[in-house]
Amino acid sequence: NAKLSPEKLLCQLRDRVNVSMIQRSDGPFGTSEWQQYLPGKSLSEAVGHLGLCAVVSSAGSLKSSHLGQEIDSHDAVLRFNGAPVRGFQDDVGQKTTIRLVNSQLVTVEEQQFLREPLYNTGILIVWDPAPYHAEIREWYRKPDYNFFESYKAYRRAHPEQPFYILNPKMQWQLWDILQENSLEHIQPNPPSSGMLGIVLMMTLCDQVDVYEFLPSKRQTDICHYYQKFHDHACTMGAYHPLLFEKNLVKHMNQGTDEDIYTHGKVTLPGFRKVHC
Protein backbone atom coordinates (compact mmCIF):
# COMPACT_ATOMS: atom_id res chain seq x y z
CA ASN A 1 0.00 0.00 0.00
CA ALA A 2 3.03 2.31 -0.19
CA LYS A 3 2.54 5.18 -2.61
CA LEU A 4 6.14 5.86 -3.64
CA SER A 5 8.46 3.53 -5.52
CA PRO A 6 11.11 1.90 -3.29
CA GLU A 7 13.79 4.12 -4.86
CA LYS A 8 11.87 7.33 -4.21
CA LEU A 9 11.05 6.21 -0.68
CA LEU A 10 14.75 5.66 0.07
CA CYS A 11 15.49 9.15 -1.22
CA GLN A 12 12.75 10.66 0.95
CA LEU A 13 14.15 8.92 4.01
CA ARG A 14 17.69 9.98 3.17
CA ASP A 15 16.79 13.61 2.52
CA ARG A 16 14.04 14.28 5.06
CA VAL A 17 15.00 12.30 8.15
CA ASN A 18 17.77 14.10 9.94
CA VAL A 19 19.42 11.59 12.27
CA SER A 20 21.48 13.42 14.85
CA MET A 21 22.47 13.22 18.48
CA ILE A 22 21.88 16.00 21.00
CA GLN A 23 24.84 18.39 21.03
CA ARG A 24 25.94 21.43 22.99
CA SER A 25 24.48 23.65 20.31
CA ASP A 26 20.97 22.28 21.00
CA GLY A 27 19.39 25.05 23.09
CA PRO A 28 18.92 23.87 26.67
CA PHE A 29 21.93 21.53 26.38
CA GLY A 30 24.31 24.47 26.01
CA THR A 31 24.92 24.83 29.75
CA SER A 32 28.29 24.12 31.39
CA GLU A 33 26.62 21.37 33.40
CA TRP A 34 25.43 19.55 30.27
CA GLN A 35 28.86 20.00 28.75
CA GLN A 36 30.26 17.61 31.34
CA TYR A 37 27.73 14.96 30.42
CA LEU A 38 27.34 14.95 26.64
CA PRO A 39 30.03 12.83 24.93
CA GLY A 40 32.90 14.84 23.48
CA LYS A 41 33.10 12.75 20.30
CA SER A 42 30.34 12.68 17.72
CA LEU A 43 28.63 9.35 17.04
CA SER A 44 30.18 9.03 13.58
CA GLU A 45 33.64 9.63 15.10
CA ALA A 46 32.91 6.99 17.75
CA VAL A 47 31.78 4.29 15.29
CA GLY A 48 33.81 5.20 12.22
CA HIS A 49 32.79 4.13 8.72
CA LEU A 50 30.66 0.98 8.97
CA GLY A 51 30.28 -1.51 6.14
CA LEU A 52 27.81 -4.33 6.73
CA CYS A 53 25.52 -3.87 9.73
CA ALA A 54 22.91 -5.97 11.49
CA VAL A 55 19.81 -4.78 13.32
CA VAL A 56 18.42 -7.42 15.68
CA SER A 57 14.78 -7.01 16.71
CA SER A 58 13.74 -8.43 20.07
CA ALA A 59 10.98 -10.60 18.60
CA GLY A 60 10.11 -14.03 19.97
CA SER A 61 10.68 -15.46 16.48
CA LEU A 62 14.45 -15.16 17.02
CA LYS A 63 14.15 -18.11 19.41
CA SER A 64 15.66 -21.26 17.84
CA SER A 65 16.68 -19.27 14.77
CA HIS A 66 20.41 -20.17 15.07
CA LEU A 67 21.14 -16.80 13.44
CA GLY A 68 23.88 -15.94 15.96
CA GLN A 69 26.90 -16.65 13.76
CA GLU A 70 25.41 -14.85 10.80
CA ILE A 71 24.55 -11.82 12.94
CA ASP A 72 28.05 -11.71 14.46
CA SER A 73 29.64 -11.77 10.99
CA HIS A 74 28.47 -8.16 10.50
CA ASP A 75 30.82 -5.23 11.15
CA ALA A 76 28.38 -3.74 13.64
CA VAL A 77 25.30 -4.98 15.47
CA LEU A 78 22.44 -2.87 16.86
CA ARG A 79 20.23 -4.19 19.68
CA PHE A 80 17.29 -2.74 21.60
CA ASN A 81 16.38 -1.99 25.20
CA GLY A 82 17.06 -4.87 27.59
CA ALA A 83 17.54 -7.54 24.90
CA PRO A 84 20.22 -9.87 26.32
CA VAL A 85 22.95 -11.80 24.52
CA ARG A 86 24.18 -13.97 27.41
CA GLY A 87 22.53 -17.36 27.13
CA PHE A 88 21.10 -16.53 23.69
CA GLN A 89 24.28 -16.33 21.58
CA ASP A 90 23.28 -19.20 19.32
CA ASP A 91 20.16 -17.32 18.20
CA VAL A 92 21.13 -13.63 18.43
CA GLY A 93 24.94 -13.57 18.45
CA GLN A 94 27.15 -11.88 21.02
CA LYS A 95 28.37 -8.71 19.38
CA THR A 96 26.76 -5.42 20.47
CA THR A 97 28.06 -2.27 18.81
CA ILE A 98 25.14 0.02 19.59
CA ARG A 99 22.20 -0.40 21.97
CA LEU A 100 19.18 1.85 21.42
CA VAL A 101 17.05 2.21 24.55
CA ASN A 102 13.81 4.07 25.18
CA SER A 103 13.44 6.67 27.92
CA GLN A 104 10.88 4.52 29.73
CA LEU A 105 13.49 1.85 30.38
CA VAL A 106 16.04 4.41 31.58
CA THR A 107 13.49 5.98 33.95
CA VAL A 108 11.04 3.30 35.11
CA GLU A 109 13.67 0.54 35.21
CA GLU A 110 16.37 2.98 36.40
CA GLN A 111 17.90 0.74 39.08
CA GLN A 112 18.24 -2.16 36.64
CA PHE A 113 19.53 0.18 33.98
CA LEU A 114 22.23 1.52 36.29
CA ARG A 115 23.22 -1.93 37.64
CA GLU A 116 22.83 -4.43 34.79
CA PRO A 117 26.19 -5.22 33.08
CA LEU A 118 24.18 -5.81 29.90
CA TYR A 119 24.17 -2.06 29.28
CA ASN A 120 27.93 -1.62 29.69
CA THR A 121 28.83 -2.98 26.24
CA GLY A 122 28.96 -0.84 23.12
CA ILE A 123 27.57 2.60 22.47
CA LEU A 124 24.30 3.55 24.18
CA ILE A 125 21.68 5.80 22.63
CA VAL A 126 18.49 6.84 24.43
CA TRP A 127 15.38 8.29 22.78
CA ASP A 128 12.20 9.81 24.21
CA PRO A 129 8.81 10.38 22.54
CA ALA A 130 8.51 14.12 21.87
CA PRO A 131 5.39 16.15 21.00
CA TYR A 132 4.73 16.33 17.25
CA HIS A 133 7.50 18.44 15.63
CA ALA A 134 8.22 20.17 18.95
CA GLU A 135 11.24 22.42 19.40
CA ILE A 136 14.03 20.92 21.50
CA ARG A 137 13.31 23.43 24.25
CA GLU A 138 9.63 22.50 24.47
CA TRP A 139 10.48 18.79 24.59
CA TYR A 140 13.21 19.38 27.20
CA ARG A 141 10.69 21.04 29.51
CA LYS A 142 8.19 18.21 29.13
CA PRO A 143 9.81 14.94 28.04
CA ASP A 144 7.56 11.87 27.89
CA TYR A 145 9.75 10.27 30.58
CA ASN A 146 12.05 12.52 32.52
CA PHE A 147 15.18 10.46 31.91
CA PHE A 148 17.74 13.27 32.18
CA GLU A 149 18.79 12.63 35.80
CA SER A 150 19.12 8.91 35.17
CA TYR A 151 21.20 9.66 32.06
CA LYS A 152 23.53 11.82 34.14
CA ALA A 153 23.82 9.18 36.86
CA TYR A 154 24.77 6.58 34.23
CA ARG A 155 27.32 8.95 32.69
CA ARG A 156 28.92 9.55 36.10
CA ALA A 157 29.19 5.79 36.69
CA HIS A 158 30.47 5.01 33.15
CA PRO A 159 32.20 8.16 31.87
CA GLU A 160 34.22 6.24 29.25
CA GLN A 161 31.25 4.59 27.55
CA PRO A 162 29.79 6.66 24.71
CA PHE A 163 26.15 7.42 25.54
CA TYR A 164 24.09 9.70 23.29
CA ILE A 165 20.65 11.25 23.38
CA LEU A 166 18.85 10.94 20.05
CA ASN A 167 17.66 14.28 18.72
CA PRO A 168 13.85 13.92 18.85
CA LYS A 169 13.39 15.69 15.51
CA MET A 170 13.92 12.47 13.59
CA GLN A 171 10.94 10.56 15.03
CA TRP A 172 8.34 12.88 13.48
CA GLN A 173 10.22 13.37 10.22
CA LEU A 174 10.07 9.59 9.92
CA TRP A 175 6.44 9.41 11.08
CA ASP A 176 5.42 11.90 8.37
CA ILE A 177 6.91 9.62 5.72
CA LEU A 178 5.12 6.62 7.24
CA GLN A 179 1.83 8.52 7.13
CA GLU A 180 2.31 9.83 3.59
CA ASN A 181 2.88 6.30 2.38
CA SER A 182 -0.10 4.72 4.11
CA LEU A 183 -3.67 4.75 2.85
CA GLU A 184 -5.02 4.80 6.41
CA HIS A 185 -4.61 7.31 9.20
CA ILE A 186 -1.92 6.07 11.53
CA GLN A 187 -1.84 6.69 15.25
CA PRO A 188 0.05 9.90 16.10
CA ASN A 189 2.70 8.16 18.18
CA PRO A 190 6.40 7.96 17.36
CA PRO A 191 7.87 4.97 15.53
CA SER A 192 9.13 2.00 17.55
CA SER A 193 12.73 1.70 18.69
CA GLY A 194 13.05 -0.92 15.96
CA MET A 195 12.17 1.47 13.14
CA LEU A 196 14.28 4.30 14.60
CA GLY A 197 17.23 1.90 14.86
CA ILE A 198 16.87 0.76 11.25
CA VAL A 199 17.01 4.33 9.95
CA LEU A 200 19.86 5.17 12.33
CA MET A 201 21.93 2.29 10.92
CA MET A 202 21.08 3.31 7.35
CA THR A 203 22.85 6.59 8.10
CA LEU A 204 25.97 4.88 9.53
CA CYS A 205 26.43 1.77 7.35
CA ASP A 206 26.86 0.79 3.70
CA GLN A 207 24.29 -2.00 4.06
CA VAL A 208 21.85 -2.98 6.78
CA ASP A 209 20.51 -6.50 7.38
CA VAL A 210 17.49 -6.46 9.68
CA TYR A 211 16.59 -9.65 11.55
CA GLU A 212 13.06 -10.65 12.59
CA PHE A 213 11.53 -7.21 12.21
CA LEU A 214 9.51 -8.80 9.42
CA PRO A 215 8.64 -12.11 11.03
CA SER A 216 9.91 -15.37 9.50
CA LYS A 217 8.21 -18.75 9.49
CA ARG A 218 9.00 -18.77 13.24
CA GLN A 219 6.45 -15.98 13.82
CA THR A 220 4.90 -16.32 17.26
CA ASP A 221 2.79 -14.43 19.78
CA ILE A 222 5.67 -14.72 22.23
CA CYS A 223 6.71 -11.11 22.59
CA HIS A 224 10.49 -11.39 23.11
CA TYR A 225 13.06 -14.12 22.49
CA TYR A 226 14.18 -13.70 26.10
CA GLN A 227 10.82 -13.86 27.93
CA LYS A 228 7.80 -16.17 28.16
CA PHE A 229 5.29 -13.32 27.80
CA HIS A 230 2.66 -13.64 25.01
CA ASP A 231 1.19 -10.59 23.29
CA HIS A 232 0.13 -10.24 19.68
CA ALA A 233 0.60 -6.44 19.95
CA CYS A 234 4.39 -6.84 20.25
CA THR A 235 4.60 -7.92 16.62
CA MET A 236 1.63 -5.98 15.21
CA GLY A 237 1.88 -2.80 17.30
CA ALA A 238 -0.45 -0.90 19.60
CA TYR A 239 1.16 2.36 20.73
CA HIS A 240 3.75 2.40 17.95
CA PRO A 241 2.66 2.32 14.28
CA LEU A 242 4.50 -0.99 13.94
CA LEU A 243 2.37 -2.48 11.16
CA PHE A 244 2.96 0.58 8.97
CA GLU A 245 6.68 0.50 9.76
CA LYS A 246 6.83 -3.13 8.68
CA ASN A 247 4.97 -2.43 5.43
CA LEU A 248 7.42 0.36 4.63
CA VAL A 249 10.45 -1.83 5.35
CA LYS A 250 8.99 -4.67 3.27
CA HIS A 251 8.52 -2.23 0.38
CA MET A 252 12.20 -1.19 0.50
CA ASN A 253 13.61 -4.70 0.95
CA GLN A 254 16.40 -5.47 -1.51
CA GLY A 255 16.68 -9.08 -0.38
CA THR A 256 14.42 -11.99 -1.26
CA ASP A 257 11.07 -13.12 0.17
CA GLU A 258 12.79 -16.45 0.82
CA ASP A 259 15.25 -14.69 3.16
CA ILE A 260 12.33 -13.16 5.03
CA TYR A 261 10.63 -16.53 5.36
CA THR A 262 13.68 -18.51 6.47
CA HIS A 263 15.80 -15.90 8.27
CA GLY A 264 13.37 -13.07 9.01
CA LYS A 265 15.98 -11.10 7.09
CA VAL A 266 15.53 -7.86 5.18
CA THR A 267 18.38 -6.08 3.39
CA LEU A 268 18.42 -2.31 3.06
CA PRO A 269 21.04 -0.02 1.52
CA GLY A 270 22.87 2.53 3.61
CA PHE A 271 22.04 6.11 2.59
CA ARG A 272 25.59 6.54 1.25
CA LYS A 273 24.69 3.95 -1.39
CA VAL A 274 21.41 5.60 -2.35
CA HIS A 275 21.57 7.77 -5.47
CA CYS A 276 18.69 10.15 -5.99
Point out which residues bind ligand NCC (CB under 6 A): 57-60, 80-82, 102, 104-105, 192-194, 213, 223-224, 234-235, 239-240
Q: How far is the CB of 52 from ligand NCC (least distance, A)?
A: 20
Select 238 or 276, whichever has its Cβ closest to ligand NCC: 238
Q: What is the C-alpha to C-alpha distance for residues 139 and 144, in angstroms, rounded to an integer? A: 8
Least distance between ligand NCC and beta carbon 224 (Å): 6
Smallest gap from Cβ 60 to ligand NCC, in A, equals: 6
Which residue number places its CB atom closest to ligand NCC?
194
**CB closer to ligand NCC, 132 vs 239:** 239
- Least distance CB 150 / ligand NCC (angstroms): 13
Q: How far is the CB of 36 from ligand NCC (least distance, A)?
A: 27
Q: 171 or 181: whose CB is closer to ligand NCC?
A: 171
Residue 257 CB neighbours (<10 A): 10
Please state the closest distance from residue 155 (CB atom) to ligand NCC, in A.
20
Q: Which is nearer to ligand NCC, 42 or 112 (CB)?
A: 112
Instruction: Provide the residue count of the chain.
Output: 276
Query: Which residue's CB is nearer to ligand NCC, number 23 or number 120?
Result: 120
For strand 98-102 and strand 123-127, is the pairing parallel, antiparallel, or unpaired?
parallel
Q: Which one, 105 or 170, has the nearer CB to ligand NCC?
A: 105
Q: Closest CB to ligand NCC among 23 and 189?
A: 189
CB of 187 to ligand NCC, least distance (A): 13
